[in-house]
Structure 1
Amino acid sequence: MTPTQPSEPQSPAAGPDALHGPAGRVIAELTGVGVRRHTTDQVILDGIDWTVRSGEHWALLGANGAGKTTVLRLIGAQMFPTVGTVEVLGHRLGRVDVRELRATIGLVSGAQKVPQDATAHTVVLTGATGTVQPLWRTYDGATRERAHELLAELELKELADRPYGVCSGGQRARILIARALMADPSLLLLDEPFNALDLPSREDLIDALHRLAAGRPELATVTVTHHLEELSPAVDRAVLLRDGRVQALGPVAQVLTSERMTACFGRPIEVSRHEGRWLARSGRPSVS
């Protein structure tokens, strides 16, 4: 099937989900990107062209093995493409010290190592140094106060002295977001942040991300998830990946349709939207 790409997000023809006014500055850009596994020569990504601009909030969707994690690692400066170019925050991978670049990108992942006995405030503080353990001598009064402010922004002020290990899953996710914001990033990457959350915790996190988008108009975010129900109403764009190729990209209203989701996942899917929230379910008839 030929990949379908709706109009560019900033195009006037993109509909109500498009940005109003001039397009934001380029935050990340993938051009002709391909990735192969060296040991087996397996194609992981093929011909990826994608641009993320300031103020845009993207969902990155696809079945397991579609290449979502690889794309996130590329724009997070965690790996290099086999072919093509990746530019992040004005720097081309291969021509920049990626360690310095990574320090300017916010990343939230369930795979992050966090000391379970560290308080929420301490965990957030480590975002200033990009370390697992706190480097106490490097944190001045302003840095410590900023950590408190970010906890308050994520509605976690009362958890400042609570050990991370006894916080709920939803609280941990928001603590990690606060940690990622310590570097004041222009790009925030969210790698399945809703994994294993119960319904109340999921909704708290969705609300937090919605507030974050409203309060930080220049921040760009990319969220990897398997479930449309986990998308904040702030998410205005989406990329569908299948077998390492872009199936569709653009404004959510054009991409997250039943037809395109069905083509992407290879089974009938019905998609609906209510008050900015999405719902996807199998279109197969129920078995009585």
Structure 2
Amino acid sequence: MVNVLRLTDVTYARNGRAILDHLDWSVEDSERWVVLGPNGAGKTTLMKLATGNDYPSTGTVDVLENRLGKIDIFELRSRIGLVSSATSRRIPANESVRNLVLTAAHSVEGRWNEHYDDIDVRQADRILAEWDLTDLADRTFGTLSDGERKRALIARAVMTDPEMLLLDEPSASLDLGARERLLQMLSGFAQSPYSPAMIMVTHHVEEIPPGFTHVLLVRDGRVQAAGPIALTLTASNLEATFGMPFELTETNGRYTAVARPSI
């Protein structure tokens, strides 16, 4: 196995407040991680460090076996796929779905005067098909539903065959049908041996796709629990993370958490 992300004794402080507090975490290339925690737990900061968009106050962060601060950050980011609401806001509304995916080959947002080889076009068309976007290829990004936009952004993120894929709340704001469709596709992608390491941030255990292997639970910038989902995603660990008791159930790889009734 190859290590793709390692945080060692990381503290991240702003305005005198430790957003991450002496945090250790390691991700291997064959693993698919879910990051769970309440608002303000430090999940967004973890994503910023993993993409090289910020640096720790103390401790070290190694991304794709390169230490932040000692590597060309632009070269590093080209090896990472990222899907977030911030990514969505940067996409021109009049960009076609095909060009949205294709332009990832040049790391630009908005088709201009770039040249694309036939291999790039074939790659884009293959990925459009994999994420059920072929019929939407000529539609503009601004006309898509929320679910279609999320799938288009994921297709763009995997266009360059990244070594690590980061998904920041990919199913947020989706209706039930769109959410389930997206989770089914993410589940299939996660279970492929050819997929990269994956890290997905979410607030809800119901949004964990089958095929994800590990979970990190964080609260107030500290790790509450980390490890294989089957062993680590427990009612007691959820209570420690969210500060209230839960009843946790699992059916066919899908989880449900409900507050435990007061006696």
Change beyond 3 A, Cα 1:218–1:178: closer
SS in 2 for 1:147: helix
Equivalence for 2:122? 145
* Alpha-carbon distance in structure 2 between the residues aligned to 1:116 and 1:188: 24
The answer to whether the aligner puts 1:191 opposite 2:152 as a matched pair is no
The answer to whether the aligner puts 1:68 opposite 2:43 as a matched pair is yes
| Preserved CA contact (<8 Å) 2:216 2:223 | yes
Equivalence for 2:228? 251
The letter for the 1-side match of 2:97 is: A
Q: How far off is 1:248 after superposition?
A: 0.4
What whole-Å deviation, never above 9, does each CA across 1:158-209 have from its counterpart, x for those lacking one?
1111111111111111111110011210100000111110011101111111
What whole-Å deviation, never above 9, does each CA across 1:240-266 have from its counterpart, x for those lacking one?
001000000001122211111011100
Q: Which runs of 5+ in 2 are unaligned?
A: none
What whole-Å deviation, never above 9, does each CA across 1:104-163 have from its counterpart, x for those lacking one?
100000121111111110111121122221244232221122111111111211111111
User: Which of the residues 260, 268, 272 maps onto 2:245?
Assistant: 268
* Alpha-carbon distance in structure 2 between the residues aligned to 1:194 and 1:218: 19
| Preserved CA contact (<8 Å) 1:126 1:135 | no
* Alpha-carbon distance in structure 1 between the residues aligned to 2:194 and 2:206: 23
Equivalence for 1:129? 106
The answer to whether the aligner puts 1:221 opposite 2:198 as a matched pair is yes
Alignment of structure 1 residues 158-173 onto 2, 5 Å: 158-173=135-150
RMSD value over aligned CA atoms? 1.3
Equivalence for 1:94? 69
| Preserved CA contact (<8 Å) 1:26 1:52 | yes
Q: How far off is 1:284 after superposition?
A: 3.0
| Preserved CA contact (<8 Å) 2:124 2:159 | yes
The letter for the 1-side match of 2:45 is: T
The letter for the 2-side match of 1:28 is: L
| Preserved CA contact (<8 Å) 2:7 2:25 | yes
* Alpha-carbon distance in structure 2 between the residues aligned to 1:151 and 1:46: 41
Equivalence for 2:95? 118
Q: How far off is 1:216 after superposition?
A: 4.2
Q: Which runs of 5+ in 1 are unaligned?
A: 1-23
TM-score when scaled to structure 2? Answer: 0.96
* Alpha-carbon distance in structure 1 between the residues aligned to 2:229 and 2:54: 28
Change beyond 3 A, Cα 1:136–1:284: farther
Q: How far off is 1:218 after superposition?
A: 4.8
| Preserved CA contact (<8 Å) 1:239 1:249 | yes
